[in-house]
Amino acid sequence: MPEIRVTPLGAGQDVGRSCILVSIGGKNVMLDCGMHMGFSDDRRFPDFSYITRNGRLTDFLDCVIISHFHLDHCGALPYFSEMVGYDGPIYMTQPTQAICPILLEDYRKIAVDKKGEANFFTSQMIKDCMKKVVAVHLHQTVQVDDELEIKAYYAGHVLGAAMFQIKVGSESVVYTGDYNMTPDRHLGAAWIDKCRPNLLITESTYATTIRDSKRCRERDFLKKVHETVERGGKVLIPVFALGRAQELCILLETFWERMDLKAPIYFSTGLTEKANHYYKLFIPWTNQKIRKTFVQRNMFEFKHIKAFDRAFADSPGPMVIMPGYCVQGTVGHKILSGQRKLEMEGRQVVITPTLPPPALSHACCDTAAGVMQVEYMSFSAHADARASCSCGQAEPENVLLVHGEAKKMSFLKQKIEQNSVGKPRRGRACEGGFSRACADRARHLAEALSTPPRGQLLYAANGETVTLSTSPSIPVGISLGLLKREMAQEQALKELGLAEHQLRFTCRVHLHDTRKEQETALRVYSHLKSVLKDHCVQHLPDGSVTVESILIQAAAHSEDPSTKVLLVSWTYQDEELGSYLTSLLKKGLPQAS
């Protein structure tokens, strides 16, 4: 019996070290290969022993796919390929391919050169790993082998982030990676075809969060920044160097310009500076506004933002704004969890979320401890609960939640009504059947009855395998007796008391022809008959011409007697042929000999 097996090796019911093993149609694909930033031992890497305990990884895995360049999705890649021993193809988009090694080397320097950590990959390993990468373009169907194909879709989130469809025969899985359904100031919204996969694997980072208006959050953010600067304080924004940094830089740059403010804005040198270079290089991946205006003014060339000066951090009155998710174990997570005293760089820092500006300033001047006022504002590029409920854009039959916390997944399960969910833990298996329509006819009837097929919505802990049977079953709401009988579509519709509706597209083509409409139609027939030898071209008694299901009629022009109007009509299924015929007729008809 055909089945799809999914085993999270990381980020099953947590955030960090995203890594998912998918077995589909006899093929094995690993989705992402991230590391957990909260650990400094082997726990930071996914448990690759779940892939295979016998034989080489390269013999077992058909390919590895990386969704984007964040380290919790690609950080373990050099370790996996150069130290564990995978030697097969690795697929990612061009921006991810360009930025990934920069982030990996930056983190390696911190972990090895500064902290002295062992069992870590080297600079050469990063280079050797990237040699195995195959870059893919959006909407490009890539044949991994004779049976396995993958296709990338725009995910928003960060530059180069992509959702991937994995297909073997009639079975398919879509992996969203991290995505964002809301366009921001530098990236567009995620988008995917109605590809109707058997299984959608999607993130649930903000499964219980429904954000307020983005415009309101931006206004609140700018107000707090402005107030702090006006009273002589400073604002520190700890944020990812790639993605959120550019988003907030564009927001601040625009506000500073509009308000004619003179206070300096600094960003960290090094990684953020390199990131800005790549954003300029990959303009086609940004949103429509930036693509339209970048020739006149590149939004990533900031006039008001300068390189960071470390001495600036020691002046009194800081406010820390954290515009995103903070992984467990980090300083940011401790602050947001309510911890009020921290040890940072040999100094004790007191966190005061409610102190008014005068008291805050006084405390900073009179004590040895630093005092910070902390505001949490979400500018995350992850989908919130509302957007996650829109994951049905691809019309999946089943949904598997990953990259989130178990309790939050349970909440999201209730919100996604067209599917249902399960959550396996490490070392345990979860099985469940799910439905694909028996035939297009059955799916059409199910939709007409407003009873779409129901599947499962699942979530799995690291190391737990989810098994889904891909055998066809009957959609809910369809009479079992009706589907057990073979009948024509017209008869099925009649028994259900439904009328069939057909959508057709019509395009007008103007031709200079002084002859009568019937003669023009005959000329069209003769021309198409000679050109389209592989198609059935007919001239009907009413004077119209058909090419397969495409209908062509000639009519008089309402104002110009020497012009005839050809009405070319086709169904959605014949859109390609209809467009070709329209282009062909627009070139005109050959002159009669």
The rounded mean pLDDT for the chain is 76
pLDDT bracket for residue 21 (50, 70, 90)? very high
Instruction: Tell me what percent of the residues of the chain surpass a pLDDT of 70.
Output: 69
Give mean pLDDT, residues 541-560.
88
**Alpha-carbon gap, residue 289 to 276, rounded angstroms:** 17
pLDDT, position 320: 54
Say yes or no: 21 and 140 in one domain. Answer: yes
Domain that holds residue 332: 214-354
Judge whether 365 lies within some domain: no
Q: pTM for the whole thing?
A: 0.63
Between 321 and 121, name the one with better pLDDT.
121
From 354, 371, 393, the end of a domain falls on: 354
Note the pLDDT tens digit of each residue in 166-179.
999 999 999 999 98
From 409, 429, 462, the end of a domain falls on: 462
Number of domains in the chain: 3
Judge whether 342 lies within some domain: yes
Where is average pLDDT lowest: 279-293, 349-363, 548-562? 349-363
Cα distances (angstroms) measured from residue 251 to each of 204, 247, 296, 355, 509: 27, 6, 19, 27, 47
Judge whether 471 lies within some domain: no
Say yes or no: 192 and 140 in one domain. Answer: yes
Instruction: Tell me what percent of the residues of the chain surpass a pLDDT of 90.
Output: 25
Q: Return the percent helix, strand and coil in the chain, to nearest 5.
A: 35, 25, 45
Between 155 and 322, name the one with better pLDDT.
155
| Residue 132 reports pLDDT greater than 70 | yes
Select, from the ranges 46-50, 426-430, 574-578, the one with the highest average predicted confidence (pLDDT).
46-50
**Alpha-carbon gap, residue 24 to 145, rounded angstroms:** 14
Give mean pLDDT, residues 454-462.
66
pLDDT, position 308: 63
Say yes or no: 243 and 192 in one domain. Answer: no
pLDDT, position 573: 76
Say yes or no: 12 and 110 in one domain. Answer: yes
Judge whether 376 lies within some domain: no
pLDDT, position 360: 30
| Residue 307 reports pLDDT greater than 70 | no
| Residue 446 reports pLDDT greater than 50 | no
Contacts of residue 575, defined as CB under 8 A and 6 or more positions apart, other chains included, come to 505
Judge whether 192 lies within some domain: yes
Say yes or no: 392 and 339 in one domain. Answer: no
Give mean pLDDT, residues 557-584.
85
Say yes or no: 327 and 347 in one domain. Answer: yes
Judge whether 291 lies within some domain: yes
pLDDT, position 247: 83
Catalytic (active-site) positions: 203
CATH of the domain at 47: 3.60.15.10
SS3 568: strand
Element (H, E) at 24: strand 19-24
Judge whether 510 lies within some domain: yes
Say yes or no: 183 and 67 in one domain. Answer: yes
| Residue 429 reports pLDDT greater than 70 | no
Give mean pLDDT, residues 36-48.
85
pLDDT, position 371: 56
CATH of the domain at 567: 3.30.310
Say yes or no: 165 and 230 in one domain. Answer: no
pLDDT bracket for residue 68 (50, 70, 90)? very high
SS3 50: helix
| Residue 218 reports pLDDT greater than 80 | yes
